[in-house]
Amino acid sequence: MKIVMLSKACIVGTYQRKLEEIAALPEVSLTVLVPPFWKDERGVMDLEVAHTNGYDLDVIPLRFNGNFHISYYPTLKKRLKLLQPDLVHIDEEPYNYATYHALRATQSVEAKAIFFSWQNLSRNYPPPFAQMERYVLKHSAHAICGNQDSVAVWQAKGYRGPTTVIPQFGVDPALYPFKWPEPKPDAFKIAFIGRLVEEKGVWLLLDALQKLPDYVTLDFVGSGPLETPLKQSVVTLGLTERVNFIPWMPSAELPAYMHEPDVMVLPSISRENWVEQFGRVLVEAMACGLPVICSDCGEMPNVVADAGLVVPENDVEALAAKLLALIERPGDRLALATKGRQRVYEHFTQKAVAEKTVTVYQDVLQTT
């Protein structure tokens, strides 16, 4: 089967491992079309060519680069006529013009199209985006959603086709070496890794820390608008010896750090316009053997399942109780380390994601 994937996300070198795993599966001929770069509020990210075994990675121009809603690939139709794919995997949200444009180009070569979505909150868009969204929902052969809530969003908006929940990318276990937790008497470190913003529940961590033994410490790894207020509160509360602020580190450095804490906590809180779509850092931590605690915000309970601990959103008492239980029962940490690593291997490696994605391709092409 000849597959074309259109994906600006695949300019990231580490993400290209999924493409290699897809291409390694039987009967798959894969071409991936990417822009030369992508720009957003963080700056310009150029294409990284890192993992290209077994498939073709081709660069095509992207017009209005940097604008999620109106950017598109002007030469796509011509390229598809040359490639003559059986299926086009449009790695874009259905309300973007790039998706609508790619779908019409796919129809022009009589191939089937699928789209990918993380969207877990229902949003209404003005014309012409609403009309393009409806067209994509009506004419797509399959939807891949990154979380369960996304399935409900698109069904409520009228999508009636088949849907499969698969994260956009997995992790490479070789980059996240497993290490058994080594409990130490009178020492316990909590880690938070992420943006220092209200919705990530960072204040809850300070509140919970005050309910735990004095030898328990907390690392904030990341940056964000709450960094200064948090540091001020740490001083006011007399926690300067127990709280550390570590600047955001490159993804390549995270695995080594994840062997230092005893638990990672992601206590996110839903907002009207934001809910956790996945929580990738949970998967990365579990891959390393670092036990995780998360709130029941968005997709996170489905990500960790019984391989992590889940607490109600915005419940500092429940969070402190779970942390205290792990402090007092080191055996529970060992059990979570084992379950977490196993869950990553079963569901969240690049290989596992690739296999599930190719199953979707097969199902679409076997359906008349």
Per-residue pLDDT tens over the stretch 58-69: 999 999 999 999
**Is residue 42 over pLDDT 80?**
no
**Is residue 50 over pLDDT 70?**
yes
Query: Angle at Cα 257 formed by Cα 255 and Cα 258, nearest 5°?
Result: 65
- What is the per-residue pLDDT across 176-219, written as a single tens digit (0 to 9) for each? 999 888 888 889 999 999 999 999 999 999 999 999 999 999 99
Tokens representing 121 are: 């909150």
3-state SS assignment for residue 210: coil
pLDDT of 183: 80
- What is the per-residue pLDDT across 109-148, written as a single tens digit (0 to 9) for each? 999 999 999 999 999 999 999 999 999 999 999 999 999 9
3-state SS assignment for residue 108: helix
**Using an 8 Å Cβ cutoff, are 10 and 32 in contact?**
yes
For domain 173-347, which CATH number applies: 3.40.605.10, 3.40.50.150, 3.40.50.2000, 1.10.10.10?
3.40.50.2000
pLDDT of 368: 61
Residues, the chain:
368
Pairing of strands 243-246, 263-266: unpaired
**Is residue 23 over pLDDT 80?**
yes
Strand order in the sheet with 29-34: 56-59, 29-34, 2-6, 87-90, 112-117, 142-145, 163-165
pLDDT of 151: 97
- What is the per-residue pLDDT across 308-346, written as a single tens digit (0 to 9) for each? 999 999 999 999 999 999 999 999 999 999 999 999 999
* pTM of the predicted structure, to 2 decimals: 0.92
**Using an 8 Å Cβ cutoff, are 220 and 234 in contact?**
no
- With CA atoms as reference, report the closest residue to 125 among 97, 160, 161: 97
In which residue ranges of the chain is CATH 3.40.50.2000 found?
2-170+350-366, 173-347
Of the CA atoms within 13 Å of residue 291, those in its CB half-sphere come to 27
pLDDT of 179: 86
pLDDT of 181: 80
For domain 2-170+350-366, which CATH number applies: 3.50.50.60, 3.30.1360.150, 3.40.50.2000, 3.10.590.10?
3.40.50.2000
Within 10 angstroms of residue 265's Cβ, the number of other Cβ atoms is: 26
**Using an 8 Å Cβ cutoff, are 13 and 52 in contact?**
no
Number of continuous H segments (helices) and E segments (strands) in the chain: 13, 15
- What is the per-residue pLDDT across 290-309, written as a single tens digit (0 to 9) for each? 999 999 999 999 999 999 99
Within 10 angstroms of residue 308's Cβ, the number of other Cβ atoms is: 24
| Burial zone of 314 (CB within 10 Å; 0-12 exposed, 13-18 middle, 19+ buried) | middle
Tokens representing 24 are: 């390694």
**DSSP codes joined into one string, 233-276:** HHHHTT-TTTEEEE----GGGHHHHTTS-SEEEE----BTTB--
**Is residue 46 over pLDDT 80?**
yes
**Using an 8 Å Cβ cutoff, are 85 and 2 in contact?**
yes
Q: Which residues of 142-171 are buried (b: 16+ CB within 10 A; e: fewer)?
A: bbbbbbebbbebbeebebebebebbbbbbb
- What is the per-residue pLDDT across 158-188, written as a single tens digit (0 to 9) for each? 999 999 999 999 999 888 999 888 888 889 9
pLDDT of 43: 83
Strand-pair partners of 220: 192, 245
Q: How far apart are the first and last CA of the chain?
A: 15
Give the mean model confidence (pLDDT) for residues 237-263.
93
Q: At what angle do helices 97-108 and 76-83 cross, to 10 degrees?
A: 40
- With CA atoms as reference, report the closest residue to 290 among 175, 181, 176: 181
Locus of tokens 């569901």: 347
- With CA atoms as reference, report the closest residue to 208 among 126, 316, 96, 359: 316
- What is the per-residue pLDDT across 256-277, written as a single tens digit (0 to 9) for each? 999 999 999 999 999 999 999 9
Tokens representing 79 are: 């390229």
Pairing of strands 43-46, 37-40: antiparallel
